[in-house]
Structure 1
Amino acid sequence: MPLNRERPASTSSGNDQGSDVESSSEGRDNLTSGSDQECSRDSFTSDSSSKHCTPSSSPPKTLTMDEVIDCARDLSNLSLAHEIAVNPSFHLERNSLPHNSLWKLVRDTVHKAFWDILESELNDDPPEYGQAITLLGEIRETLLSFLNPGANRMRTQIMEVLDMDLIQQQADNDAVDIHGLAAYVITTMEKLCAPIREEDIRKLRENTSNIVTMFREIFRVLDLMKADIVDHEIRNLRLVLHSGGTAVEYERATFQDVLDKMPSALDHTTTWIKSALELLLTNIAPEQTEGQGKEQKVIPGPFQILNTAFLTILRWDYNVAQLPETLMADEVRLREIQQKLQQCQVVNEVLLIVYNTIGGPIQGLPSLSDRLKRMTSVLLDGMHNHNFNLDEALQGVSAQICCELNKTLTERSYTSLTPELQAILKGQICSITQKTNPIRTLVEDRVQHFFKAVISDPKPQLKIEQVPAGLTAIKPELTSIAAKFIALINYNRIVYGPFYADIIKKLIFRSSSPAADPPQDTAQEAVPFN
C-alpha cells in the first residue's frame, strides 16, 4: 500500500499496543555499537559523506503553506510506516459511531431516506431506475478497484455486463433486469472476496426476495471487502518494511525530510537528552589529575547519556512535558508500558508489606501469594483513569487482604489477625500513596536499577530474567514489560541513532572544558555502566 497523502479513516492497533518488534544487534549502531569506553572523540568529530550518518538541519526559515502541508504528509506517512513496522496487530477498522451520538442519528436518518427513495422508485408503476442505476455504477467502480492490473478478462466482463449506457437504455424501455444484475454482482464478489467473506456471500444469495435489502447488504459486504484488501496490503507492506532494513531507512529519511523543512523538529529531543546529560554530570564526581592535584571534569559517554534518557521515559510526566519528537509515534505504547509498570509496582509494594508484617504463618504458600496478587491487581485495575480514587482502592485492597489472611490463618490453625494488627496493615498499605514511603521508594529504585541493567547490557534477553530481590512476585509481568520496552527503544536507536549522535556530540563539546579542544580522553574515560 503506497504511503500517500491519505491514511485510513479509522485504524485500530488492537488491545495489545505494545510492540512485538524483536531486539536486533543493529540497535547497537550509531550510539548503540559497543560500549562508551569504545566511543572515541574522533567518532564525534570526523565528517561523513553518508546522509544517514550525519543528519542535517536547515537554517531557521518561515514555512510556506505548501511546506507545512508537506511536513504534515511526511509525519503522517512516518507515523503510518512506523505503526505497520512495529505493531503486528495494526489493521483497518471500520468507523463505528457511538450508539446514541448525534452523528450516528444523522447518518442513519440519511441512509434510511436514501433506501426509502430507492424502494419507492422500484415499486412505482412503471418502476423508476434512477437510484438503482446510480448504485450499480458505484458497485461497478468498486469491483474494478479490487482487480489486479493484469486481470484484463474480468475487467472487460464487468464493463460489458455493467455497461451503464446500455442499462440506462434498458431502463428507458422498462426492460432492465435488476435481479439478474444483482446476481451477477454477487457472483463477481464471490470470485474476488477473501475466504473469510464466503459466509457473507452465501447469505446474500439466500436473501434475494427484497431487492432494496439485497442492495444494502451488497454495499455492506463490499465495505468489508475493501477493509480486507487494505489489511492484505498492510501485511504485504510490513514484509517489505521488515526486509533489508527498509523500514529503518524509510523512517530515517522521512524524518530527515521533515527536519530539512522544519529545523525545530528536534527541539524536544534535544531538551530531553540535555536533561539526561545534566543529571549524569550532577551525579559524577570530578577526578583528581595525578601529580597535580587538579580536578578534571568527567564527561559521560554517549551510550550512557542515551540510556539515562531512555530511563526517564519510564517516569515521564505527560501532563508536564511533551515527549521527544523521535518517540511520539510510540506514545500510546510507552504510556501503556508506564501504566502497567506502575500498577505492578503498587501490587509488589502491597505484597511486601503483607509478608513483612505477618511473617512466618503465611510463608511458603505460593497459592496464597497468587491469590493476593490477583486480588490486588483486579482492585487496582484502571488506576490511571482520571476518576480512579487510589486511596479508596487501597482501602478496599487492605480489607480484602485481611479477610483472605484470616481465612488462611484459620485453616492453618493460627490465630486470626487482631484488630490492632489489621489496622497497622491497612495503614501501611494505604500509606504507599506517599512518595516518601520507604517500601515504595525501595521498589521504585530496584525497578529502575533493573531497567538500567537491561538497557545497558549488549544482550538484554539474559538480563531480563535476572529480576532483583524483592521483585520476584511480579517477575512475569516485569519481564514482559521490559521485553516490550527494550524492543521499542532498540528499534528507536536504529532509526534515530544518527540524530542522537549529532545532538550528543554538540552537548558534550559544550559541556567540556572551555578550551578550544575538548580533553583528548574525555570520551574514552566515560563512566562505565553499572
Structure 2
Amino acid sequence: MDKVLRFVMKSDDDKEKVVENVENEDDNEPLSGISNDSNSLRGVSSLKRRREESEPIPLSKNEEQETLPRWVAGASPAKFVTLDELMDMSSAMENMALVHEIAVNPDFAIPETSNNPLERAVKDCVHKIYWEKMAEDLAKDPPDYSKAFSTLLDVKQLSVFEFQMIMDLLTPQHVRLKMEIDSRLDEQILRQQVDKDCLDWPRLSEYIIDLLARLCAPVRDEMVSKLREKTDIVDILRGVCELLEVMKVDMANFEVRQSRPIIEEHSAVYERNQFFKILKSDPDLELPVLNWLKRHVSDIAKSTSAADLSGPVIKRRFEIDRARFEQLGAKYLQLIVCTACVLVTCISAGQDVIDIPQFKQDLKDELIAITEDISVKNLKDRLEAMYVHCNAKLKKIYEAKESLVWTAGSSDGLRLQIMSLEDEKQPVRSLMRERIRGFMLSMLKCSGQSSKQKLPAGVSVVKTELNMITAAFVRLASHNRKTFGVYYGDLIKKLMSV
C-alpha cells in the first residue's frame, strides 16, 4: 500500500516526470533485453561446454584424487550476488506487479485493512499496548502528556498531509484552511499550554473532529458521529488516528481511479523496463526462457507446460497472473459444461418442454449457481448434482403436463448423458469447447477494433457469462502481449535463425 500511496500522492508535474522517465528509460538498450554479442545466441548450447571445461573440485587434502563430477561442480568461477542487487531485483518485481495489477484489474482498490491475518494481529496488538500506555501516563499525578502531545502532532501532520492531497483538487480559495490548521495546532503554543497545564482538551478535540468532518468523504460521516460521542482523551485520539488512516486510503483509491488512464497508457513500457532491469542484473536468468522457447521452436506440436520454467524471475513473472488465469480456466470449464448440460437436457426433454418460455435461460442460471466452485477435481460430483437438479426439474414439468410422462428410463438416459460430460472427448462437450474457444480467440485477434463477432450456435444461452470471461481474457492477454510481445518475438526469431 505504501508504494501505491507514494505514486498516487505525486503532483501533476511529478507524474509527468515519471511518465517521461519511463518513456526515456533504457532508450539505448535493445528492446528485447538480449545482448547483441554473437556469443549470447549460443548461450544455451555453450552452457554444457563450459561445464565440461570446469576443473574438478577436491573434497579434501587426503582425497585429492576423489573429485566431484564436472556436471555437479558446474561452471567456474562462481558468481557472487550482493544484497543490494537482491533488494533492487525484489523492488523491481514488486513495482512491476503493482503497476500490472492496476493496469489489468479495473476494480483495483487499496483495502482498508491488511489481508494478512498475522499482520493485522501484530498491528492490533502494538496499537493496543500503545493506547494502554498512554492511558496509564494520563492517569498519573501529575499527568504525563508526552505521548498524547506526540500523537497530537502526528494528527496535525496527517491532517496537513490529507489537506494537501485535497488541495490539488480544490480552488485556491481553500488555502486559508491550511493557515487555519497551522494556527490552531501550533506546536509551540500547544507545548506551552501543556507545560502550564492549561490545555483545553475538550475544545481542541472538538476542533480536530470538525476539521476531519470537513475533509473526509460523506461515506465516513458515521465514523465522525461515533467520534463525537467519545469523551475520553485516549479514545478520541485513537478514533482520530483510525479515521485519518481510512481517509488516507480513500484519497489514495480516488487518485488511483483518476490516474488509471495514465497508468494503463504507460504501464506496458514501465513493466518491460523493470523486467529488463532484473535481467540486466543477472543475464543467466534468461536461460530458462531460451530453453523453454527452444523446445517449442524445435517441435511446435509438442505440448510444454509453463511449469517447466526453472528461473525464479520467470516463475514470479507468471505468478503475477497465475490466479487470474486459474480463475478464467475455472469459468471456461464452467461455461463448457453448463452449455453442454443444457443441450443434452433439452434433447432428453423434448420439443414441448423446450418451447416453454425461459426454460433454457432459467436452467442455465440454476446450473451456473450449482457449478460456481467447479474444477477438474470435483467435476464428477458437480455433474451428479447437475443431473439431480435437471431430473427433478423435468419430472416436475412432466407432472404438470398430463399428456407427458417422465419415466425411469428417461431419467436413466439423462443421467448417462450428463455424467458422460466428464470425458473431454464427449461429442457435445467437445463441440461446445471448440465453439467457445473459437469465439474467444476471434475476439482476441480483433482486439482494439470495432468489428463485431457473431456468437456460435448453441452458446447464446451463456451470452452474458461468455462476454464477461472473454473481456477479462482479452484484456489480460492484450496487455501481456503489448508488454512482452516484442521481447519474446525477438527471442523466437533469433532461436529460429540459429
8 Å contact 1:351–1:372 — kept in the other structure? yes
Is residue 229 from structure 1 mapped to residue 247 from structure 2 by the alignment? Answer: no
Root mean square deviation of aligned Cα: 3.8
The SS at the match of 1:474 is helix
Is residue 447 from structure 1 mapped to residue 463 from structure 2 by the alignment? Answer: no
Amino acid at match of 1:246: H
The SS at the match of 1:454 is helix
Q: Tell me the equivalent position of 1:253.
A: 273
1:183-242 CA deviation, whole Å, 9 max, x = no partner? 2322332443344434533443x3253333222211111111111222233234323224
Amino acid at match of 2:224: I
TM (normalized to structure 1)? Answer: 0.70
Amino acid at match of 1:466: K
Q: Tell me the equivalent position of 1:520.
A: none
8 Å contact 2:5–2:252 — kept in the other structure? no
Query: Structure 2 vs 1, CA of residues 405 and 106 (structure 1 numbering), >3 Å: closer, same or farther?
Result: same
Higher RCO (CA < 8 A, seq sep 6+): 1
2 CA distance for matches of 1:75 and 1:407? 57
Query: Structure 2 vs 1, CA of residues 91 and 188 (structure 1 numbering), >3 Å: closer, same or farther?
Result: same
Following TM superposition, by how much is the alpha carbon of 1:397 offset from its aligned partner in structure 2, in angstroms? 1.5
Query: Structure 2 vs 1, CA of residues 124 and 55 (structure 1 numbering), >3 Å: closer, same or farther?
Result: closer
* Alignment size in residue pairs: 431
2 CA distance for matches of 1:368 and 1:334? 32
Decide which moves more: 127-136 or 344-353. 127-136
Higher helix fraction: Structure 1 or Structure 2? 2
Amino acid at match of 1:483: A
Report matched runs for 1:261-280 at 5 Å.
Answer: 261-266=281-286, 269-270=289-290, 273-274=293-294, 277=297, 280=300
1 CA distance for matches of 2:310 and 2:470? 23
Show structure 2 runs of 5+ residues with no match: 9-26, 44-78, 168-173
Following TM superposition, by how much is the alpha carbon of 1:135 offset from its aligned partner in structure 2, in angstroms? 1.7
- Which of 145, 152, 169 does residue 129 from structure 1 map onto? 145
8 Å contact 1:55–1:256 — kept in the other structure? yes
1 CA distance for matches of 2:288 and 2:330? 22
2 CA distance for matches of 1:383 and 1:250? 36
Is residue 420 from structure 1 mapped to residue 409 from structure 2 by the alignment? Answer: yes
Report matched runs for 1:172-183 at 5 Å.
Answer: 172-183=195-206
TM (normalized to structure 2)? Answer: 0.74
User: How much identity, in percent, do the aligned residues show?
Assistant: 27
Q: Tell me the equivalent position of 2:193.
A: 170
Following TM superposition, by how much is the alpha carbon of 1:7 offset from its aligned partner in structure 2, in angstroms? 9.0
- Which of 373, 378, 392 does residue 381 from structure 2 map onto? 392
The SS at the match of 2:424 is coil
Query: Structure 2 vs 1, CA of residues 444 and 324 (structure 1 numbering), >3 Å: closer, same or farther?
Result: farther
Amino acid at match of 1:139: V
1 CA distance for matches of 2:158 and 2:378? 51
8 Å contact 2:32–2:491 — kept in the other structure? no
1:431-472 CA deviation, whole Å, 9 max, x = no partner? 322334333333323333333433344776645x42323333
- Which of 488, 494, 516 does residue 476 from structure 2 map onto? 488
Q: Tell me the equivalent position of 1:349.
A: 340
Amino acid at match of 2:103: A
Amino acid at match of 1:74: A
Q: Tell me the equivalent position of 1:435.
A: 424
Report matched runs for 1:302-381 at 5 Å.
Answer: 328-381=319-372
The SS at the match of 1:148 is helix
Following TM superposition, by how much is the alpha carbon of 1:338 offset from its aligned partner in structure 2, in angstroms? 1.4
1:42-62 CA deviation, whole Å, 9 max, x = no partner? xxxxxxx97464433497965
Following TM superposition, by how much is the alpha carbon of 1:102 offset from its aligned partner in structure 2, in angstroms? 7.3
Amino acid at match of 1:193: C
1:128-159 CA deviation, whole Å, 9 max, x = no partner? 32332122122122223334398986556545
Amino acid at match of 1:440: R
- Which of 81, 103, 122 does residue 63 from structure 1 map onto? 81
Amino acid at match of 1:221: L
Amino acid at match of 1:185: I
